[in-house]
Homo-oligomer: A and B are copies of this chain.
Amino acid sequence: MSTTPDTDNAVRAFVDDHYAAFLDDLGAWLRIPSVSADPARAGDVRRSAQWLASHLTATGFPEVEIWETPGAPAVFAAWPSGDPDAPTVLVYGHHDVQPAAREDGWRTDPFDPVVEDGRLYARGAADDKGQVLCHTLGVRAHLAATGRTAPAVNLKLLIEGEEESGSPHFPELVRAHADRLACDTVIVSDTGMWSEDTPTVCTGMRGLTDCQIDLYGPDQDIHSGSFGGAVPNPATEAARLAAALHGDDRTVAVPGFYDGIVELTDRERELFAELPFDEADWLRTAHSHGLLGEDGYTTLERIWARPTAEVNGISGGYQGPGGKTIVPSTAQLKLSFRLVAGQDTERVQRSVREWVAASLPAGIRHEITFWGATRPCLTPLDHPALQSLVRAMGRAFDQKIRFTREGGSGPAADLRDVLGAPVLFLGISVPSDGWHAPNEKVELDLLAKGAETAAHLWADLAENGPV
Interface residues of A (CB under 8 A from B): 36-39, 98-99, 104-105, 165-166, 192, 206, 208, 210-212, 217-233, 235-236, 238-246, 283, 286-294, 299, 302-303, 306, 308, 310-329, 331-332, 334, 336, 338, 361-365, 371-372, 406-409, 431, 434-439
- By the criterion CB–CB under 8 Å, are B98 and A324 in contact? yes
With A225-B408, A229-B308, A286-B231 as known contacts, state yes or no: A220 contacts B438, CB within 8 Å.
yes
Q: How far in angstroms is the closest Cβ of chain B from A168?
A: 10
With A239-B314, A313-B318, A407-B228 as known contacts, state yes or no: A363 contacts B290, CB within 8 Å.
yes
- By the criterion CB–CB under 8 Å, are A231 and B288 in contact? yes
Q: How far is the CA of A394 from the CA of B29 in the complex (A)?
A: 78
Q: How far is the CA of A372 from the CA of B323 in the complex (A)?
A: 9
Cβ contacts A to B, 22 pairs, < 8 Å? A39-B322, A105-B221, A208-B325, A217-B288, A219-B287, A224-B308, A227-B303, A227-B407, A228-B338, A229-B294, A229-B303, A231-B290, A235-B312, A235-B314, A236-B310, A242-B243, A287-B329, A289-B363, A291-B363, A311-B316, A312-B318, A325-B436
With A38-B320, A222-B437, A226-B431 as known contacts, state yes or no: A314 contacts B331, CB within 8 Å.
yes
Q: How far is the CA of A440 from the CA of B294 in the complex (A)?
A: 48
> A331 contacts which chain B residues (CB < 8 A)?
314
Q: How far is the CA of A245 from the CA of B239 in the complex (A)?
A: 10
From B218, B321, B332, B406, contact of A287 by CB (8 A):
B218
Kindly list the 9 A-B residue pairs having the minimum CB-CB distance in the complex, ordered from nearest.
A290-B363, A229-B308, A225-B408, A239-B242, A37-B322, A243-B243, A313-B317, A313-B318, A231-B288
> A303 contacts which chain B residues (CB < 8 A)?
225-230
Residue of B nearest to A327 (CB): B310
Give chain A's interface secondary structure class.
loop
- By the criterion CB–CB under 8 Å, are B222 and A288 in contact? yes
> A334 contacts which chain B residues (CB < 8 A)?
317-318, 323-324
Q: How far is the CA of A322 from the CA of B96 in the complex (A)?
A: 14
- By the criterion CB–CB under 8 Å, are A310 and B229 in contact? yes
List 11 additional A-B contacts (Cβ < 8 Å) besides A228-B336, A231-B291.
A208-B225, A218-B286, A221-B438, A232-B290, A233-B311, A235-B312, A243-B244, A289-B363, A292-B362, A314-B314, A324-B436
> A322 contacts which chain B residues (CB < 8 A)?
36-39, 165, 371
> A302 contacts which chain B residues (CB < 8 A)?
229-230
Q: How far is the CA of A227 from the CA of B288 in the complex (A)?
A: 9
Residue among A242, A283, A302, A332 with the highest chain B CB neighbour number at 10 A = A242
- By the criterion CB–CB under 8 Å, are B313 and A235 in contact? yes
Residue of B nearest to A236 (CB): B311
- By the criterion CB–CB under 8 Å, are B229 and A239 in contact? no
> A245 contacts which chain B residues (CB < 8 A)?
236
> A291 contacts which chain B residues (CB < 8 A)?
230-231, 363
> A317 contacts which chain B residues (CB < 8 A)?
311-314, 334
With A303-B229, A362-B290, A435-B226 as known contacts, state yes or no: A246 contacts B236, CB within 8 Å.
yes
Q: How far is the CA of A294 from the CA of B232 in the complex (A)?
A: 11
- By the criterion CB–CB under 8 Å, are B223 and A408 in contact? yes
Q: How far is the CA of A321 from the CA of B302 in the complex (A)?
A: 29
From B212, B224, B238, B431, contact of A310 by CB (8 A):
B224
> A338 contacts which chain B residues (CB < 8 A)?
224-225, 228-229
Residue of B nearest to A370 (CB): B323
With A226-B408, A302-B229 as known contacts, state yes or no: A325 contacts B313, CB within 8 Å.
no
From B292, B329, B408, contact of A230 by CB (8 A):
B292
Q: How far in angstroms is the closest Cβ of chain B from A376?
A: 11
Residue of B nearest to A231 (CB): B288
- By the criterion CB–CB under 8 Å, are B321 and A39 in contact? yes
- By the criterion CB–CB under 8 Å, are B371 and A37 in contact? no
Residue among A286, A371, A407 with the highest chain B CB neighbour number at 10 A = A286
> A365 contacts which chain B residues (CB < 8 A)?
289
Q: How far is the CA of A325 from the CA of B36 in the complex (A)?
A: 13
From B312, B319, B321, B407, contact of A323 by CB (8 A):
B312
Q: How far in angstroms is the closest Cβ of chain B from A443?
A: 16
